[in-house]
Structure 1
Amino acid sequence: MNILGVLLFAFGIAVSIALHEFGHLLTAKAFGMKVTRYFIGFGPRLFSFRKGETEYGLKAIPAGGFCEITGMTALEDVHPDDRKRAFYNQKVWKRVVVLAAGSITHFILGFIILLILAMSLGLPNNKGLPVLQEVTPCVPVANVTDGSCPSGSPAPAKNAGLQPGDEIIAIAGQQTPTWPDMQRITRERTGPTEFKIIRDGQEKTVTVDVAKVTRTLTDGKGGKETKEIGAIGVLPKESFTYSPIAAIPAAVSFTGDMFVNTWKGLLRFPERIPAVVQAIGGGERDLDTPISVVGASRLGGDAAERGLWAFFVLMLAGLNFFVGVFNLLPLLPLDGGHIAVNLYERVRDWIRKLRGKPAGAPVNYMRLLPLTYVVIFLGGAITLLTVTADIVNPIRLQ
């Protein structure tokens, strides 16, 4: 099952790459540009076929793909018959759409994955909402470790009539926007306490006789302490499943959250690289360190082996959002770099027009080659580091 998970995840990555390039292909053809080749992979050609003016095919190394559009820069030698259809002769907005189409395809694919997840396995409770998954028969005492309910064990939530699906919004007049808030306030209480809940869209008030139990807790400094706390015997809801109609806004909201998290992850990316180097040297692998497609596929295998298919699917969605956002960074040779160049030309020519001057010459990509090589070198080095770390000291699901 682990191997199957790895293969399935790798296949998901390959499909994402194929659709990325297909986004470029589809928009370029829609605008009348000439697309000569569409290939998945690099290296030796495994097979190909021609349909119209475009050759479609598969290459031996499944590490990317490409869509070859005639006249990507003004430096390219284009046949006179094709000049009107060359990329560099199209309006700027058309060029930007074609260049951004790969990332947009990733975003659409990621949203569709989340939409399907919302209607099937459920979206994770990523905001920690205090919604009940289960009301336990009792609150076990300290010396009970098997989850059983000895005679006389308190059952506060059950006795108060709390039900799975209830959302606790306030305790003793204090708001509980998240599950940790609910836990913190509950632990400070004892005896009959007013709980405000939402059940089936209606607000209700119930009185829960909060029990006092002995628990060993983490003290926030890595140590542990034993103390008496309040408890009611409930477990949090870890995911939410939606109807087809309700799934749309839920997936939209979750997509927004993933965009925010992806951007935050990209900003923190450089500072996490030293941790990858330490992991290669034998240090403990931080769960927050960057991973390669190798590491992601291994995690996919772990998830499949443990039956965590919701996590598996969520990783695929997250991968698409990450690649989509990363590809829009204004750095050559990424699509975002080409977009930046085209937008620069448009703004520059607009300013020149206001000054009564003709449009400037196209940007000379040859002058940008040193910067492009630096980006390629850094990207290759980071890829090598993360792949090495994922082989010698991988992140694994516990």
Structure 2
Amino acid sequence: MTTFMTILGIVVFVVGLLFSIAWHELGHLSTAKLFGVRVPQYMVGFGPTIFSRKKGETEYGIKAVPFGGYIRMIGMFPPGDDGAVRQRSTSPFRGMIEDAREAAFEELQPGDEKRLFYTRKPWKRLIVMFAGPFMNLILAVAIFLGVLLTFGVNTTTTTVSSVSECVIQASQNTDKCPASAKDSPAKAAGLKPGDKIVAFDGQQVAEWDQLQQRIRDTIGPATLTVERDGERKTLHADLVKNQVAKFDGDGGYVEGEFVTTGFLGFTPANGIVDQSFPQAVDRMGTMMVDGFEALVALPSKIPDLWDATFGGAEREQDSPMGVVGAARVGGEVFSLDIPPEQRVATMLFLVAGFNLSLFLFNMLPLLPLDGGHMAGALWESVRRHAARLFRRPDPGPFDVARLMPVAYVVAGVFICFTLLVLVADIVNPVRLTG
């Protein structure tokens, strides 16, 4: 049964991946057609074509390798020095093998002279290229909000999971109480597993972060208001100074670092907590900031990724993952011994995170990514406005093809990184459980 659920999880993730890719390319396709650009092809995947059907002037199809997709637009680059009109794929992968200046007269049809991508105003080209990543952003936001508002989120709560027997410094890394150790303040106060702390020193607390900070700021007598068996009870505790793990302010702990603060002595329980709309929006905003910070920090993680792949080092939980690794995690999610609704919610979060990554990555102002074409359109707009302002001749369209040497370097780096992540996902994958 576990094997079946793992395979099912992988299949579900791959379907979500294909939908995300198709959704991305639909943004390019719909806006290109809106502005009158001819689009001969819309493909999901790469390699041999499994299925295709031509509708109108566009061939729609699915290819064998589900690691990307593309649309083909006529006249994506302006003519070369010889005056030949060129065509170009929006796909970064196909962009590596298509020469930016290869003549494509066979792609042209009567009337295409007025339907070339490069002839559209810069703001229209900007919209066409932004529409793909924006579709991924829309999908990520919709999934995040839907899951948070419908399923809730697994959160550390103010409910007691277990009570510490004694006062031990966190750096000792043990649960065994020395003979000389004193009872923990929580045990001495009569706190029990299952108690829900609703107030600390008479002030209501609804979230663990709030309660944790109040505990750490207090040394000496304090009152705890708890809910136990449907009744509220007031407990009296005498908090002591103790060495505890340092927390990062985002619900996590800084590994190997400790601080001396007030100590009560219990472990909070995790649970699914319903989110209000403002809470969901706030949490989603935090996820987007975390995603951006992770993208910025990506180069710094390459040495550890290399060591985990070829040096036998432990793979960090926040290590970069590729499609194979994410699919593997998807399979693991469906095999976890958790309620079905939590499996679904976790899988949806995985797909939403993938879409958010697609958005952030494609916004980088580098060719052959969408952001590189957007940067070219913006630069052309600046040049033309400056020419009008200073009464100079129109400089014409900015030839993005001139940046293709840079695009090849970027694509080469990206392929090398993708291969490294692929090998790491196979030989030393990130796992949800030990």
Q: Does 1:268 align with 2:303?
A: no
Moved more, 81-90 or 94-103: 81-90
Q: Does 1:393 align with 2:428?
A: yes
Aligned to 1:363: 398
Residue ranges of structure 1 left out of the alignment (5+ in a row): 146-152, 198-204
Alignment root-mean-square deviation, CA: 3.8
Give how far 1:94 is off.
1.6
**One-letter amino acid matched to 2:351:** L
Q: Does 1:121 align with 2:151?
A: yes
Aligned to 1:107: 137
Q: Residues 334 and 168 (structure 1 numbering): CA distance in 2 closer, same or farther, change over 3 Å?
A: farther
Give how far 1:86 is off.
2.1
Q: TM-score, normalised by structure 1?
A: 0.80
Q: Residues 155 and 305 (structure 1 numbering): CA distance in 2 closer, same or farther, change over 3 Å?
A: farther
Q: TM-score, normalised by structure 2?
A: 0.74
Aligned to 2:264: 230
**One-letter amino acid matched to 1:45:** T
Q: Is the 8 A contact 1:170 1:176 kept in 2?
A: no
Matches within 5 A, 1:190-209: 191=221, 193-194=222-223, 208-209=235-236
Which SS does the other structure have where 2:47 is aligned? Answer: strand
Which SS does the other structure have where 2:318 is aligned? Answer: coil
Give how far 1:81 is off.
0.3
Looking at structure 1, the residues matched to 123 and 262 of structure 2 have their Cα atoms a distance apart, in angstroms, of: 65
Q: Is the 8 A contact 1:19 1:105 kept in 2?
A: yes
Matches within 5 A, 1:272-311: 272-281=301-310, 282-306=312-336, 307=338, 309=343, 310-311=345-346
Give how far 1:344 is off.
0.5
Count of aligned positions: 367
Residue ranges of structure 2 left out of the alignment (5+ in a row): 80-85, 87-104, 167-174, 178-186, 227-231, 247-253
Q: Is the 8 A contact 1:114 1:123 kept in 2?
A: no
Aligned to 2:96: none
Aligned to 1:381: 416
Looking at structure 1, the residues matched to 199 and 152 of structure 2 have their Cα atoms a distance apart, in angstroms, of: 17
Q: Does 1:57 align with 2:86?
A: no
Aligned to 1:93: 123
Aligned to 1:36: 40
Aligned to 1:150: none
Q: Is the 8 A contact 1:109 1:317 kept in 2?
A: yes
**One-letter amino acid matched to 1:371:** V
Aligned to 1:15: 19
Moved more, 101-110 or 116-125: 116-125
Q: Is the 8 A contact 1:171 1:195 kept in 2?
A: no
Looking at structure 2, the residues matched to 65 and 214 of structure 1 have their Cα atoms a distance apart, in angstroms, of: 58
Looking at structure 2, the residues matched to 261 and 367 of structure 1 have their Cα atoms a distance apart, in angstroms, of: 34
Looking at structure 2, the residues matched to 374 and 29 of structure 1 have their Cα atoms a distance apart, in angstroms, of: 31
Q: Residues 35 and 207 (structure 1 numbering): CA distance in 2 closer, same or farther, change over 3 Å?
A: same
Q: Residues 216 and 48 (structure 1 numbering): CA distance in 2 closer, same or farther, change over 3 Å?
A: same
Which SS does the other structure have where 1:299 is aligned? Answer: helix
Give how far 1:5 is off.
1.5
Q: Is the 8 A contact 1:71 1:88 kept in 2?
A: yes
Which SS does the other structure have where 1:35 is aligned? Answer: coil
Looking at structure 1, the residues matched to 160 and 418 of structure 2 have their Cα atoms a distance apart, in angstroms, of: 47
Aligned pair partner of 1:349 in 377, 381, 384: 384
Give how far 1:45 is off.
1.3
Looking at structure 2, the residues matched to 258 and 4 of structure 1 have their Cα atoms a distance apart, in angstroms, of: 27
Looking at structure 2, the residues matched to 157 and 349 of structure 1 have their Cα atoms a distance apart, in angstroms, of: 71
Give how far 1:255 is off.
2.4
Looking at structure 2, the residues matched to 53 and 169 of structure 1 have their Cα atoms a distance apart, in angstroms, of: 71
Looking at structure 2, the residues matched to 380 and 30 of structure 1 have their Cα atoms a distance apart, in angstroms, of: 33
Q: Residues 223 and 50 (structure 1 numbering): CA distance in 2 closer, same or farther, change over 3 Å?
A: closer
**One-letter amino acid matched to 1:95:** R
Looking at structure 2, the residues matched to 167 and 351 of structure 1 have their Cα atoms a distance apart, in angstroms, of: 63
Aligned to 1:251: 280
Aligned to 2:165: 141
Give how far 1:362 is off.
2.4
Give how far 1:22 is off.
0.9
Identity %: 37
Q: Does 1:210 align with 2:244?
A: no
Q: Is the 8 A contact 2:38 2:74 kept in 1?
A: yes
Q: Is the 8 A contact 2:199 2:224 kept in 1?
A: no
**One-letter amino acid matched to 1:375:** V
Which SS does the other structure have where 2:264 is aligned? Answer: strand
Moved more, 32-41 or 213-222: 213-222
Q: Residues 182 and 296 (structure 1 numbering): CA distance in 2 closer, same or farther, change over 3 Å?
A: farther
